[in-house]
Structure 1
Amino acid sequence: MARTHRCLGALVLLATACVLHAEAATVVLSCGSVGQELQICQGGAAAWRRETGHDVIVVASPGSATERLALYQQVLAAGSPDIDAYAIDVIWPGLLASHFIDLARRVDPAALEAHFPAIIAASTVRGRLVALPLYTDAALLFYRADLLDKYGLRPPATWDELAAQATQVLAAERATGNRDLQGFVWQGKAYEGLTVNALEWIASSGGGTIVEADGTITIDNPGAVQAVQRAAAWVGGISPTGVLNYAEEEARGVFQSGRAVFMRNWPYAWALAQGEGSPVRGKVGVVPLPTDGAANRPRAVLGGWQLAVSKYSRNQEAAIALVTFLTGAAEQKRHAVAYGYQPTIPALYRDPEVLRALPFQVEGVFDTAVARPSRATGALYNQASSQFFNAVHAVLEGHGSAQERLAALARQLERLSRGGRW
């Protein structure tokens, strides 16, 4: 974190110097650093610079969404003008809305209408459009197609099938000396990513969404208990104990190096796994996440990132122009073709180049995606999510049963929400 602050300070000083000594505006954009997020921002900034003559300084923020939110809250609470535009998680508009300008009247209505209406709605808080969509996400199950073919297996449709197949392949491969191979890697670190993973386990097992749309707390139920306890059994078995410290990039690193049979991750991992020099290039397949095998459907958590303009910015007009450019159809097509990121503009899913670049468009993934309960919990979402992922992490570490921890969590959430009133 200290290193991030030092880098941020140095870049901000550079940005200030540019503003003072040039007529063109210099916009400072804080962007993510997971996968190829930074390349998306840097490539778009370079294109906008060529087109407008304005400059952009792209600041890399922490890879962990939880750490990134904490940094943003610190900078914004200070009313700092140092950052003009921010890349924010799809669940953050309600938390950060008071710090961002309303884009509804500052952007061409046709540009807004081009995006999925539901994503524009998710970025609208009390009638104010506080961000524009950059890309959307719904997680997938990545698998080693070569290994499944080798042992005559089809991609798993249920969590139990995944565990059985991982166990079978591990036993056979380790008998041949492949001792480094793991069965299933995912995001088990105590952070927002674990909230996402655990919600997928629970929702696909009929256990609800932690807090329902009306604010009712439903996490203490048999489906949720079974789902979390099942995941705890993976740790030290088909999943390495180190998975409890994995975020997205740690899981991808293991899988892409050829050391895992299955991986849960966002679609961005596809382009990297298939890239030049990747040890698993041409050996990877993707399918929807598993379900519990009952009547429940696979449920990938809806992700994605937006771009917002700070109300403390001294370069608001230039920042709005940059954000509009980066979220437009041309840039979203570039993100999809070059990096495998999912557009938020429906028309792009009919573009032949986009369809060639995104062969993993699995039917129904977005139709069944589940939202985190950020709307129901409002400004308290971050606290609710922290309580949830810490409770789940404790179970995964073997500190108490899922039944005990989720019952205690329900009581914590009741107190936090004042009886579900949030």
Structure 2
Amino acid sequence: MKLNQLSRFAVLASSLLLGTSIQAATVTISCGAVGTELDVCRDGVEAWSKKTGHEVKLVSTPNSSTERLSLYQQILSAQSTDIDVMQIDVVWPGMLEKHLLDLKSHTNGAEKDHFPSLVQNNTVNGRLVAMPWFTDAGVLYYRKDLLKKYGYEAPTTWEQLTDIANDVQAKERQAGNEQMWGYVWQGRAYEGLTCDALEWIYSYDGGTIIDPNGKVTINNPQAAKALDTAKGWIGTISPAGVLNYTEEEARGVFQSGNSVFMRNWPYAWALSQADDSPIKDKVGVVALPKGGEKGQHAGTLGGWQLAVSRYSKNPDIAADLVAYLTGYEEQKRRAIVGSYNPTIMALYKDQEVLEATPFFGSLYDTFANGVARPSTPTGDKYGRVSNAFFNSVHGVLSGNGNSQSALKSLEKQLKRLVR
């Protein structure tokens, strides 16, 4: 696009004031808005903008990852220039790869400082299509004051959690808090339920829906047992409304003091410790429970990456913004102010980071070895695989059929999808 004379003068003046001959440009970035996410992102891009002289505009996108992916696919398929830098989920690189810039020539080797598994995840057909920004794994939040009050330790199995939640919920209601629930989590039919349900199933040794070789494994007794366990929570230790909860609805109940346990991502820690939080200093964080004594702890690998659209008018400037936001200092700031898990390994030994978010150290293995969703073996079909999975799980939780028949039907559907 040609600049008119006035615009040229403004750009030249800006360049002279900045002491550089590079013309100022405007780039756009999509940031999430879960919890403090948007504010923390805005602070980061403003710091980069001040440093470089380039303007950054934030683009609003849906909080639901399922809806956001759909929006991205529409924008990229149209080769639109509306968004230069996209915040993408850890399971999307394979789906969006052909529309994304190869960042390898823009990183100066910085990717070597990040978790190798994430760099590998973001490398498709030899192209580094996204840089890790923050990682995630599901964790269990609990009211340490309430557990201490009634003589309990943090649960290590789902059965223990169920028993403790039932008991504490009943006693707290008898004491006057009729709004108290035992356990809140993400039950809406969306990608968040895929994460929660994968944790249940994997913890009971029920597999990962589809194995790394592309074989559909979901139809097994352990997976059915996991879903039956979760179904038993509805209306007992979890409100019926949990079937429409995303991360923020669950956090709202827990942070208001009305739940004993909560499954969520690490971002909720900083919010629970805010000065205006009713549960400040009353919260503990541990790995999610095992499926029985013979099961295993499982936290679904989450996290977000930053990618540059191939259709950006300013790809080099957009890539520089990505390099800044995913760098050491910015990731450290985000870890301290927002409890966003760094993807740079060295930050897990940084004392300022560990002081702000102590469980980063104790749960390092959980974050480094999260359970991956089957996005790699399913490639660009993952969106449909996840959609089929969370809809089937939601049906079971809602009482529409039993787990065995639902998983048998899901198995047939997934086999058709990945064929």
TM-score range (shorter-chain normalised) is: over 0.9
- Describe the superposition over 1:8-63 as per-residue Cα deviations: whole angstroms up to 9, x where unpaired: xxxxxxxxx99996441111001111122212220111110111111101112111
* Offset of residue 106 of structure 1: 2.5
Query: Do 2:135 and 2:367's aligned partners in 1 also have CA atoms closer than 8 Å?
Result: no
Shift of 1:355: 1.0
Distance 1:230 1:21, change over 3 A: farther
SS at structure 2 position matched to 1:365: helix
* Structure 1 stretches lacking a partner, 5+ long: 1-16
- How far is 1:283 from its partner? 0.6
Matching residue of 1:29:
29
Counterpart residue number, 2:52: 52
Q: Tell me which moved more, 305-314 or 356-365.
A: 356-365
Retained in 1: the 8 A contact 2:103–2:130?
yes
Cα distance in 2 for residues equivalent to 1:339 and 1:263: 18
Residue equivalent to 1:216: 215
Report the Cα offset of residue 358 of structure 1.
Answer: 1.6
In 2, the alpha carbon distance for the partners of 1:116 and 1:70 equals 28
Mapping of 1:75-154 within 5 angstroms?
75-109=75-109, 111-154=110-153
Q: Deviations over 1:75-127 (max 9, x none)?
A: 11110011111000011000001111111122211x12111111111100011
Superposed counterparts of 1:249-288, under 5 Å: 249-288=248-287
- Residue 414 (str. 1) matches residue 415 (str. 2): yes
Query: Secondary structure of the equivalent of 1:388?
Result: helix
367-376 vs 322-331, greater mean Cα deviation: 367-376
Give the letter for the 1:252 counterpart.
R
* Counterpart in the other structure of 1:14: none
SS in 2 for 1:415: helix
- How does 1:295-306 map onto structure 2 within 5 Å? 295-306=294-305
What SS does the corresponding residue of 2:132 show, helix, strand or coil? strand
Partner of 1:168: 167
Q: Which amino acid aligns with 2:90?
A: V
The answer (yes or no) to whether the contact 2:204–2:291 under 8 Å persists in 1 is yes
Number of aligned positions between the proteins:
401
* 182-191 vs 60-69, which moves further: 60-69
- DSSP-derived class of the 2:298 partner: coil
> Partner amino acid for 1:403?
Q
* SS of corresponding position for 1:33: coil
Q: Deviations over 1:208-247 (max 9, x none)?
A: 0000000010000011000001101100110000000000
- Given the superposition, is the C-alpha separation of residues 102 and 92 from structure 1 closer, same or farther in structure 2, using an over 3 Å criterion? same
SS at match of 1:286: strand
Q: Distance in 2 between matches of 1:294 and 1:225?
A: 17
Cα deviation for residue 367 of structure 1 reads 4.8
Identical aligned pairs, as a percentage?
54
Structure 2 Cα separation of the partners of residues 413 and 93 of structure 1: 21
Please tell me the residue identity of whatever aligns with 1:64. S
Q: How many angstroms apart in 1 are the aligned matches of 2:354 and 2:405?
A: 46
Question: What SS does the corresponding residue of 2:359 show, helix, strand or coil?
Answer: coil
Matching residue of 1:12: none
Q: Which residue of 2 aligns with 1:359?
A: 358
Unaligned runs of 5+ in 2: 1-5, 12-22
Secondary structure of 2:367's counterpart equals coil
Change (3 A) 1:20 1:179: farther
The answer to whether the 8 Å contact 1:298/1:368 transfers is no
Secondary structure of 1:161's counterpart equals: helix
Q: How does 1:261-340 map to 2 (within 5 A)?
A: 261-340=260-339
Tell me which amino acid in the other structure corresponds to 1:90. Answer: V
Flag as ranges the 4+ runs of structure 1 deviating above 3 A: 17-23
- Contact kept in structure 2, 1:94 and 1:379, CA below 8 Å: yes
Contact 1:297 1:368 (C-alpha < 8 Å) held by counterparts: no
Counterpart AA for 1:59: V
Q: Deviation per CA, 1:254-297, whole angstroms, max 9, x where unpaired? A: 10010100000000000000011000001111110001123222
